[in-house]
Structure 1
Amino acid sequence: MKEIILGSIMGTAVGDSLGLLYEGLSSKRQRKLYKNINSQKFFMGKGFISDDTEHTLMVAHALYHSSGDEEIFSRYLARSLRKWIISMPLGIGFASLRACIKLLVGFPPEKSGVFSAGNGPAMRSALIGIICGNDIQKMKSLVRISTRITHTDPKAEIGALTVAYAAFIAGTKKEVAPSSFYEGLKSLLIGYESLEFLKIVEEVVDSVYNNESTREYVERLGLKNGVSGYIYHTVPVVIHAWLSYKGNFRKSIIEMIECGGDTDTTAAILGGILGASATVAGIPEELQENIYLFPYSKKYIENISHALAYKNKRTSEIQVKEPFWGLSLIRNLIFIPVIAFHVIRRMLPPY
């Protein structure tokens, strides 16, 4: 279990750090500006993590402290989000921003969410599936809490639950038949307003069986500027890439990024699912080492993975504390010029 958890978290961080440089770019503009997506190159040849990895680690921390207790999980996740928002995170989604401000001014977690179907909840749900997938009701409850703390549109919950379920399946089966996944998801979503979403996933399954690439699938959807932040765009495309996985982690993440759009989030979600399957041993080591994780560290990720895997065993008395939020604030302030450089670079030739 530890290797599955560690693989999912590191897969998220790798996808996030690879995709961040290309966020918001269409696949055509990517090819104009950057010749090679083979490694991280956001700053001095390394990659940054963004909110995708940070939210995954917040959920890991909440799961560690709560041991599945829903009230404690909600409390710890809300506490982490409050600290995160005052660290001035860069590139935060509007729905998450409004929800976190509501938390900061005193709204309880069950009332802080805003009506949105953005992809924020999907980027932090993989671990819930891996940890709680054998207890379907517990998985549903924790996904609901994690989702509604920021996003209240039922579509957001359906998308997040799909990612959690995919990560659970990826961690338990080396090969997943697309039709089998669809039938399992269909059963899982009984009681949800999911007819529209299941129709989309059914089309994804057909596309995979027809050997259509993920990029071809995205182009057929008419997403000329890339995959948007709408959860009914993000999650189906990620599921397509996962079900098309041929065992090459780097290649799959790069193909996801080449679809364009919200590339850090799509690559991070895909990385979280693939990492559960490949485990950390299946993720290229140089991609793991080539990330600025500060204020986190690889040791922190290893410790939280160990603690989650062995939470109920005496052998696991590892105490894991979240980094001081002020360190994230310092990091974000220092790298504002780097962000500004990349924004300006995008405005320049070649066109």
Structure 2
Amino acid sequence: MTRNAITGCILGIAIGDALGLPYEGVSTQRAPKLLGPPDRYRFFFRRGMISDDTEHTCMVAQSLIEANGDVDRFARLFASRLRWWILALPAGVGKATARAGIKLWLGATPATSGVFSAGNGPAMRAAIFGAAIDDVPQMLEFVRVSSRVTHSDPKAEFGAIAVAFAARHSRVHKQVDANLWLSDVVNAVGDDASELTNLLHRSVDSVSAGESTKSFADSLGLSKGITGYTYHTVPVVIHAWLSHSEDFLQAVTAIIECGGDADTTAAIMGGIVGAGVGEAGIPSNWINRIWEYPRSIAWMRSLGESLAVVDLVKDPSVEGSITRSTTRAPRINPIAVLFRNLLFLLIVLFHGFRRLAPPY
């Protein structure tokens, strides 16, 4: 079950990211005219490519594999990967993450590199923790460390915790229990996150009342699109998840149609639902039409397989004993990443110029 959840989570994030990417920053009124419905890839000749949302998830997964349960080692590994990721000149990196990466190059430690921002960075890479880690205190420890490498505002951490619990709940429970999930989040974040928990209560109540995700987003003042502020993103993503917890297509489509930071919201959504439905629950045509290298679909599957066996592995030579896996994380060619990022940037620039033309 964990293997299916991890692979489904990683691929779900990639598919949501790739589907939402062309819609990022396009208003909800113009998107249908300019791009059409989010039912297929519209980035590069009906093919999809991933952005930082998926790349961060992959770096987290690689670091989890090599950390062997050591949180401090995970922080160092993830920070090291983040430094080199910034050096490869990724397009569209968030300001807080970029500043954190620069601080790491200037000698900051993973504990001091985060900047005070409540952006979506920690939330976009949080679902994999819920998909991969059974022990709740351990999961929370990893989420907090991951968040603080780039974002020091507690709000960013609280949003990431809510996402991790959603992915875990999606994996563990055959049927989603919104109140049980919400209780877990409230107990984990405490009174300091009362603003977020109040928004999450509104989200749960809205779903119970049969309100659409777009209408709920409008009620939060997000009719022009979901912003990169985690207290805007997470409640609306949760609404779409609770509304379509077993339907990957409907969940991702619903969140993209809310507009705004569409690649990140759809990536988070894909990770949560993917952890529950696994790869089998993701439309195969969406998986097959991802056009990526070196982080290909096959490479992501290999990453998921490696992470699935790293946690606790029984030693067959000793009855009842448990040993840590020493599986090495799949690597990528840094030169290939540079060429890929250059091509990606050219395509992004094309989309930017395309938006200057009609229809408006």
Q: Deviations over 1:103-155 (max 9, x none)?
A: 122211111110000000000011112222x3222112111110010000000
Residue 58 (structure 2) aligns with: 57
Select between 306-315 and 157-166 the one with higher mean Cα deviation: 306-315
Residue 328 (structure 1) aligns with: 337
Structure 1 residue 248: deviation in Å?
2.3
Residue 72 (structure 2) aligns with: 71
Asked whether the equivalents of residues 84 and 325 of structure 1 are also in contact (C-alpha less than 8 Å), the reply is no
Structure 1 residue 317: deviation in Å?
7.1
Q: Provide the secondary structure at the position in 2 that maps to 1:45.
A: coil
Task: Read off the aligned partner of 2:137 and give its amino acid letter.
Answer: Q
Structure 1 residue 75: deviation in Å?
1.0
Question: In 2 relative to 1, CA 270–340 (structure 1 residues): closer, same or farther, beyond 3 Å?
Answer: same
Mapped partners of 1:335, 1:230: distance in 2: 25
| 2:341 is the alignment partner of 1:340 | no
Q: Deviations over 1:327-346 (max 9, x none)?
A: 22211112322111110111
Q: Provide the secondary structure at the position in 1 that maps to 2:111.
A: helix
Structure 1 residue 318: deviation in Å?
5.4
Q: Provide the secondary structure at the position in 2 that maps to 1:117.
A: coil
Q: Deviations over 1:230-266 (max 9, x none)?
A: 0000111111111111532112211110000000000
Asked whether the equivalents of residues 178 and 208 of structure 1 are also in contact (C-alpha less than 8 Å), the reply is no
Question: In 2 relative to 1, CA 334–293 (structure 1 residues): closer, same or farther, beyond 3 Å?
Answer: closer
Aligned length: 349
Residue 181 (structure 2) aligns with: 181
Select between 298-307 and 273-282 the one with higher mean Cα deviation: 298-307
Asked whether the equivalents of residues 66 and 326 of structure 2 are also in contact (C-alpha less than 8 Å), the reply is no
Q: Provide the secondary structure at the position in 2 that maps to 1:276.
A: helix
Structure 1 residue 32: deviation in Å?
2.0
Q: Deviations over 1:10-44 (max 9, x none)?
A: 00000000000000111111022122321112012
Asked whether the equivalents of residues 300 and 320 of structure 1 are also in contact (C-alpha less than 8 Å), the reply is no
Where does 1:180-329 land on structure 2 (aligned, <5 Å)? 180-190=180-190, 193-245=192-244, 247-311=246-310, 312-313=312-313, 319-329=328-338
- Residue segments in structure 1 that go unaligned for 5+ positions in a row: none
Mapped partners of 2:301, 2:353: distance in 1: 37
Residue 143 (structure 2) aligns with: 143
Question: In 2 relative to 1, CA 194–44 (structure 1 residues): closer, same or farther, beyond 3 Å?
Answer: same
Structure 1 residue 267: deviation in Å?
0.2
Mapped partners of 2:28, 2:335: distance in 1: 36
CA RMSD of aligned residues (A): 1.5
Mapped partners of 1:301, 1:350: distance in 2: 37
TM-score by length of 2: 0.93
Identity, in percent, stands at 44
Mapped partners of 2:198, 2:329: distance in 1: 42
Asked whether the equivalents of residues 5 and 276 of structure 1 are also in contact (C-alpha less than 8 Å), the reply is yes
| 2:129 is the alignment partner of 1:128 | yes
Mapped partners of 1:199, 1:36: distance in 2: 32
Asked whether the equivalents of residues 58 and 80 of structure 1 are also in contact (C-alpha less than 8 Å), the reply is yes
Task: Read off the aligned partner of 1:13 and give its amino acid letter.
Answer: A
TM-score by length of 1: 0.96
Mapped partners of 1:231, 1:78: distance in 2: 21
Where does 1:163-178 land on structure 2 (aligned, <5 Å)? 163-178=163-178
Q: Provide the secondary structure at the position in 2 that maps to 1:238.
A: helix
Task: Read off the aligned partner of 2:148 and give its amino acid letter.
Answer: R
Task: Read off the aligned partner of 1:139 and give its amino acid letter.
Answer: M
- Residue segments in structure 2 that go unaligned for 5+ positions in a row: 317-324
